Amino acid sequence: MTAIPERRKRRTIVGAVTGFVLVSVAAGLFVVGAITLSNSQEGEAVGVDERPVVALPDTPNAMLAVTDNEGQLASVVIMTLLPEGQGGSIVTVPVNADGTVGFGEQRRPLTELFDADDPESIVEPLEEMLTITIERSAVVGVDELVEILDPIESLQVVLPEDVVDSSQLGSGIVALAGPQTLRRLLVAQALAAVNDEGASYDHHAVDVELWTQLARTAPIKVPAEPVDVDEFGRPIPPDTVEELVMRLWEGDIEVRDIAVTEPLESANPTGADVVLVDRADAVLVFAQISPALVSTPNPAMSFRIEARYSDEQLEATGDLFESSSELVREMTRELLFFQANVISIDTAAAADGAPEVTRIEVSDKRFIEDMELAGSIFFGESVVVVSSTVLDGVDAVVILGTGYLDLRELNDEGAVVVQDTVETDD
């Protein structure tokens, strides 16, 4: 997220005041073009599309939920393997994330929806919340978690607060705040601790710290033993959550924490202990680490976004964007608002940086006219071509150029004027 709240406010103003009509027209084209193409029978008998089809990488995933000794949800993560079958990502999700995804009159945290005897009880809410498909799931207590973490003997952590388990007698303290070394059993007990004091999210930082330090113990064996592959040389997916976790620790692991917001008081009349997952941030995370499993619930086109900017190109915009990830998160938020889908994202800097002109590669020539109009509004100076290969499930690959940065700078400058006018009138 950008570190300058005033600039975020100005961007919102310019989006609402100066660009809404044009962007609405472009967004309508995203929807109409996709629906028209999906319903059209034109050209089906003309010939066979002989372009090569490229599949998004196979990244098996699993939900792992940890419970305290009373069966309450204490920790939940999504674990995803790299396409090579070893190593990957751990995504931490707050246990009080709103399972209704902000819809309806009543907010319901995952802790309320959770049934310790049914791992699937929170799978569907998580899938809708994170816009992904979850392939495997498991619920474990302390004993099972100790077995899963078997390769790890101890862990160095810096706990942001005392870890308290309210179900224990006395103080319930599992571990004190500060730097220390925890044995595996104590790590499991800390992850399974539920502190009833204060809001649930107040204690989420402990969860993030424990999983982050666990990830830093990987890989547990160098070199790792090779995984079994099928007749095409692809890693055979793990059968169980336990096997997936074992493979995860055989390679490098990164931990990602999903951004959240507080619900408006009017949207949370009962004062439920919940936070709302930032859907744009969730899409950003999973479109980077597991694009083949990102869902497409919206009726419009599906996009892959490539923001390959160099540090120098981003720095040239001043404080507009601190990173390509921040930039794409904002773009994703806009596309989601207008009912498009973003399923694949690449923000790794290219050796020569991003090109000057945005290049939009569409999967079908019938998208060209719509994207030529919509593309210039959303993505700046751009050229639209039919892709030479088809990326399975993707309607358009957008390779962002510096022209997009110019567009955002121009909008930002216009927004300052609007903001200044509002302040003067007050």
pLDDT, tens only, 104-116: 888 999 999 999 8
Q: Which CATH number fits domain 61-278: 3.40.630, 1.20.120, 2.60.40, 3.10.20?
A: 3.40.630
Kindly report the pTM of this predicted structure: 0.88
pLDDT, tens only, 111-161: 999 998 888 899 999 999 999 999 999 999 999 999 999 889 999 999 999
- Residue 301 makes CB contacts below 8 A (sequence gap 6+) with 30, 31, 33, 34, 340, 341, 367, 395, 396
Q: Are 115 and 121 in contact (CB under 8 A)?
A: yes
User: Which amino acid, 404?
Assistant: Y
Rounded Cα–Cα distance for residues 91 and 192 (Å): 17
Mean pLDDT value across residues 24-44: 58
Nearest CA to 274 out of 95, 129, 426 is that of 95
CA dihedral (196, 199, 203, 204) positive or negative: positive
- Residue 226 makes CB contacts below 8 A (sequence gap 6+) with none
Nearest CA to 319 out of 189, 412, 205, 213 is that of 412
Report how far apart, in Å, the C-alpha atoms of 398 and of each of 92, 279, 324 are: 29, 20, 14
pLDDT score recorded for residue 424: 35
User: Which amino acid, 116?
Assistant: A
In terms of phi and psi (left: phi > 0; alpha: psi -120 to 50; beta: otherwise), the region of 221 is beta
pLDDT of residue 305 exceeding 80, the answer is yes
Q: What's the full length of the chain, in residues? A: 426
Rounded Cα–Cα distance for residues 255 and 224 (Å): 20
Give the pLDDT band (50/70/90) at residue 25.
low
Neighbours of 168 (CB within 10 A): 14
pLDDT, tens only, 324-354: 999 999 999 999 988 899 999 999 999 999 9
pLDDT, tens only, 71-99: 999 999 999 999 999 999 999 999 999 99
Neighbours of 423 (CB within 10 A): 8
In the chain, ranges of CATH 3.40.630 domains = 61-278
Neighbours of 283 (CB within 10 A): 25
Provide the percentage of residues in the chain whose pLDDT is more than 90: 68
Report how far apart, in Å, the C-alpha atoms of 51 and of each of 47, 301, 368, 393, 415 are: 12, 20, 17, 14, 44
Q: Are 387 and 363 in contact (CB under 8 A)?
A: yes
182 three-class SS: strand
User: Which amino acid, 397?
Assistant: V
pLDDT of residue 26 exceeding 80, the answer is no
Peptide bond before residue 355 is cis, with ω within 30 degrees of 0:
no
Neighbours of 349 (CB within 10 A): 17
Rounded Cα–Cα distance for residues 68 and 66 (Å): 7
Mean pLDDT value across residues 15-44: 55
Give the pLDDT band (50/70/90) at residue 11.
very low
Q: Are 227 and 246 in contact (CB under 8 A)?
A: no
pLDDT, tens only, 378-394: 898 999 999 999 999 99
The values of phi and psi at residue 187, to 5°, are: -60, -45
Helices (H), 265-348: 279-289, 311-315, 324-337
pLDDT score recorded for residue 38: 56
Mean pLDDT of the chain, nearest integer: 87
Q: Are 135 and 293 in contact (CB under 8 A)?
A: yes
- Across 14-144, the runs of DSSP E, i.e. the strands, are 53-54, 61-67, 73-81, 88-93, 137-140
Of 91 and 264, the structure prediction assigns the larger pLDDT to 91
- In this structure, the dihedral spanned by the alpha carbons of residues 228, 152, 216 and 95, taken in order and rounded to 10 degrees, is 90
pLDDT of residue 426 exceeding 70, the answer is no
Rounded Cα–Cα distance for residues 259 and 276 (Å): 9
Peptide bond before residue 223 is cis, with ω within 30 degrees of 0:
yes
Sheet (strand 88-93) strand order: 137-140, 61-67, 73-81, 88-93, 253-257
Tracing tokens 């710290």 back to the chain, one arrives at: 209
Helices 368-379 and 402-425: crossing angle in degrees, nearest 10, is 50
